[in-house]
Amino acid sequence: MKEYKMLINGRLVNAVAGKTYPVINPATEEMVTDLPLGGLEEVNIAVQAAKSAFPIWSKIPTSERCRLVKEIAMGIRENADELAKLDTLDHGTPVKMAFHMAMASASCLDFAADTARTMMSEMIPASANTLTYTKKEAVGVVALITPWNAPLMMICDKLGGILATGNTCVVKPPSIDSLEALKLAEIISKVNLPPGTVNIITGPGGLVGNALSSHPDVNMVAFTGSCETGKVIFENASRTVKKIGMELGGKNPYIVLKDADLDVAISKIVMSQYINTGMICAAPGRIYVHESIHDEFVKRFVERAKTITAGDPNDEKTFMGPLVSAEHRDKVEALIKSGIDEGATLLLGGKRPTEPPLNRGYYVLPTVFSNVTSEMMIYSEEIFGPVACIVKFSSEEEVIRAANDNLFGLCAAVFTKDTAKGIRFANELQAGTVWINEGLTASTDLPWGGYKESGFGKVSGVKGVHEFTQEKLVWVDLYGGNMQPLK
Ligand code: NAD
């Protein structure tokens, strides 16, 4: 396999000490290649490079910066086939979806570039003798730390805003699933950016991510990942009062009211539950179903879940590939076991496939639990796997209370034919996104972000681009305190 390298100060490089770490294909458990293992030395060089590039990059006219961001987007589109292959190899993303993810990542960069051109200043005529305007300015060096669940997208949904508004950055992709990030490094190295504008370092979170989020010359940390790591980063960043964006985990309530269209609810919730093998922050965490339709819903949900094609991600027909790693499969299996031990009813799956070729790879079959109750671990913990947890409820008031009684507040969904009622639920639910008769959809044009321990700040949409700026008020006294009446 060809060699993939880190991007530091405009050059594609190996680790200074020549160290590497292996990439494992989650569908076969075979080693794919070695990647450079960055550490503290690389962090210091990259942060210094980003700091030196900042005065140059931030002073380039916005239109030109945005043109260069669009060149990166174009490079992603031109290399979408290779990026998709790497996503399938490294993450186990089914081929069809992998290509779509690469194209959507390019769109994120385009949207940010278009947005940044229109938002950098606002005139506010506060009084007759002053000229007052606000000006959006870049924050400085941004550390972008991302998770493995959608490796390229999780970088690109923030990278466009970071660059288009004039920041420079050091990207720390996840320690597993870094192949696409290094392909992106290669694409970016061919775009004529000032050296050091984008640096990409692969290596362990506890070392590289920790050093970046503590580094005195990093001005902002944009983090997407688990709540646990988010809290460590929050603490690190607080020491030098860095700006922070936090996109953390979720345990999202999907609520099916008694008047819901069951065909719509079932097809959308099944898709939301099993796409990307459940490794999506917005996936259903608790599926609340009204008691009057509960049994019918459960029966049809299981029938539908049985039609999910789980298997080789290279097969065009596959909808659900493996989990990302042996370690993550252990975590998902432990939670499944806790569900069984604590008395939930296992209706489907709950185990690995045993037939070749799926008897190797980190597969877990689509799993459905009913009779899930609030004391169980699977009710409150983010599983991040293909495990549906169905909970019965009897009153609307009760379900709103239960849905909100959780540390997270990322997103929620309500299924009902009564749109006005859906909107009343949206007003009550403590979540950054509420879908009505929809599930797990997002758009580059729309803001995304959580409430409570799911984080703060937005990615995507116009607001997502604003996050990477700070606002300055410029106040000009036009008459030096001596305004004369007009003659
Ligand atoms: P994670 O927190 O384990 O890792 C995320 C990143 O942080 C990785 O790059 C990792 O190497 C790095 N890291 C680990 N320890 C660190 C430390 N001490 N200091 C600095 N960086 C460190 O998360 P994950 O397992 O890769 O991803 C899954 C989580 O991400 C889930 O909880 C999921 O809900 C969340 N997520 C949230 C969103 C969102 O939009 N809210 C989107 C995708 C994923």
Q: Say what the pLDDT of residue 481 is.
A: 75
Q: Say what the pLDDT of residue 121 is.
A: 84
| pLDDT, tens digit, 9 for 90 and up, residues 358-412 | 899 999 999 999 999 999 999 999 999 999 999 999 999 999 999 999 999 999 9
Q: From 368, 338, 342, 51, select the one nearest 215 (Cα to Cα).
A: 51
| pLDDT, tens digit, 9 for 90 and up, residues 166-184 | 999 999 999 989 999 999 9
Q: Say what the pLDDT of residue 483 is.
A: 78
CA distance linking residue 44 with residue 26, whole number of Å: 32
Residue 222 one-letter amino acid? A
Q: Which of 247, 333, 382, 467 is catalytic?
A: 247
Residue with tokens 């604590």: 342
Domains in the chain (CATH in brackets) are: 6-248+454-473 (3.40.605.10), 252-436 (3.40.309.10)
Q: From 239, 210, 129, select the one nearest 485 (Cα to Cα).
A: 129
Contacts for 91 with CB less than 8 Å, ≥ 6 apart: 26, 148, 149, 151, 177, 321, 324
Pairing assessment for the beta strands 141-145 and 411-415 based on DSSP bridges = unpaired
Atom of ligand 1 at shortest range from CA of 172: 9
Residue with tokens 């989020």: 213
- Token code pair at residue 311: 């298997």
Q: Which of 108, 169, 227, 281 is catalytic?
A: 281
Is residue 233 within 8 A of residue 206, CB to CB? The reply is: no
Q: What percent of the chain has pLDDT over 70?
A: 100
The protein residue with its alpha carbon nearest to ligand 1, atom 12, reads 205
Centroid of ligand 1 to alpha carbon of 357 (angstroms): 31
| pLDDT, tens digit, 9 for 90 and up, residues 127-175 | 888 999 999 999 999 999 999 999 999 999 999 999 999 999 999 999 9
User: Would residue 247 show up in a list of annotated catalytic residues for this protein?
Assistant: yes
Q: Say what the pLDDT of residue 36 is.
A: 96
Task: Average pLDDT across each block of 10 residues of the chain; the chain has 487 residues. List them in order.
Answer: 94 96 95 95 98 98 97 98 96 94 97 92 88 96 97 97 98 95 98 98 96 98 97 97 97 98 98 97 98 98 96 93 96 98 98 90 97 97 97 97 97 98 98 96 92 96 96 92 80
Site to probe by mutation for ligand 1, drawn from 172, 215, 226 as the one with most ligand atoms within 8 Å of Cβ, is 226
Strand partners, 247: 224, 455
Residue 384 one-letter amino acid? F
User: Would residue 342 show up in a list of annotated catalytic residues for this protein?
Assistant: no
Contacts for 254 with CB less than 8 Å, ≥ 6 apart: 269, 272, 284, 286, 287, 288, 412, 413, 415, 439
| pLDDT, tens digit, 9 for 90 and up, residues 315-325 | 999 999 999 99
- Token code pair at residue 236: 């690190």
Q: Say what the pLDDT of residue 260 is.
A: 98
Q: From 329, 344, 337, 274, select the one nearest 305 (Cα to Cα).
A: 274
